[in-house]
Amino acid sequence: MSVTIYHNPACGTSRNTLAMIRASGEEPVIIEYLQTPPSKEQLSELLATMKIPVRDLLREKGTPFAELDLENPKWSDDQLFDFIVQHPILMNRPIVVSPRGAALCRPSELVLDLLENPVASFTKEDGEQITHVISQL
């Protein structure tokens, strides 16, 4: 199975998500999106796969969100994509893509539903214990 993570190594949620992927036995393709931002087309495809609007991808904390007045509804989706491409820190993270789908993995345990062999339990960097119940269909 091929897994890709749009990752920011400075983000604890992103680091936890990456660790959960690796604990499942996968070595993902890691895209450090601050160094290699996705194009508008890639962003559009990601959002379509995740079935979320572009505004749900925007990160406010630690970004120029307020300075750019991005809460203002005057901005079109196309314009918001332009802002994300120009300022990739605006992209919320981590995003994980796998054959099972794609998701903005906040909280990090959302990644478990995208993995072929998710771990049953995991301890996050802050000590929080995550238990994943694997459904038997």
Q: Which residue has the tokens 């990160």?
A: 59
β strands within 11-109, DSSP E: 29-32, 95-98, 101-104
Annotated catalytic, 105? no
Which of 11, 103, 112, 114 is catalytic? The answer is: 11
Q: Which residue has the tokens 């996968």?
A: 26
- Closest Cα partner for 61 from 8, 111, 18, 4? 8
Catalytic residue numbers read 11
